[in-house]
């Protein structure tokens, strides 16, 4: 399933809802370009809702790390919401759970910006 990204604004926070897989190829490119566009347009509070992402490979993880770094360098914050148990375990194994701000659901991630 190709990656579909939906962007909306909720209480001054840009929410990017991802549906599908984040894997090497067009999917990681789409994610990268979408978020870089948001950052270029001045978004500083971004939540990526991953509730409907069924698979993330190493390239997808690398894209998220790169976007996190890019956002920080521009004074923006990216938070992850509703990650799967498998992705949570991957973040723990790679020690990236200490890097990303991860929330159980989108509402909690949005509220964390207040």
**pTM here?**
0.95
pLDDT for 2 equals: 87
Cα 81 to Cα 78: distance, rounded to the nearest angstrom:
10
What does each C-alpha distance from 29 to 24, 63, 73 come to in angstroms? 8, 8, 20
Chunked mean pLDDT (size 10), the chain, 114 residues: 93 97 96 97 98 95 97 97 94 94 97 96
CB 87 within 8 A of CB 49: no
Report all structural domains of the chain as residue ranges with CATH numbers, in order of start: 4-111 (3.30.750.24)
Nearest to 79 by CA among 39, 113, 29: 113
At residue 65, φ and ψ (nearest 5 deg) are -65, -45
Place of tokens 């949005």: 110
Task: State the pLDDT at residue 60.
Answer: 95
The packing angle between helices 26-40 and 58-73, to 10°, is 10
């Amino acid at each position: 399933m190709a990656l579909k990204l939906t962007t909306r604004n909720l209480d001054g926070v840009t929410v990017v809802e991802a549906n599908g897989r984040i894997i090497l190829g067009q999917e990681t490119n789409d994610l990268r370009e979408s978020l870089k566009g948001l950052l270029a347009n001045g978004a500083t509070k971004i939540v990526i809702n991953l509730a409907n992402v069924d698979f993330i490979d190493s390239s997808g993880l690398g894209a998220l790390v790169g976007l996190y770094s890019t956002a920080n360098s521009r004074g923006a914050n990216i938070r992850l919401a509703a990650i799967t148990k498998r992705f949570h375990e991957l973040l723990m194994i790679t020690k990236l759970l200490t890097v990303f701000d991860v929330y159980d659901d989108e509402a909690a991630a949005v509220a964390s910006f207040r």
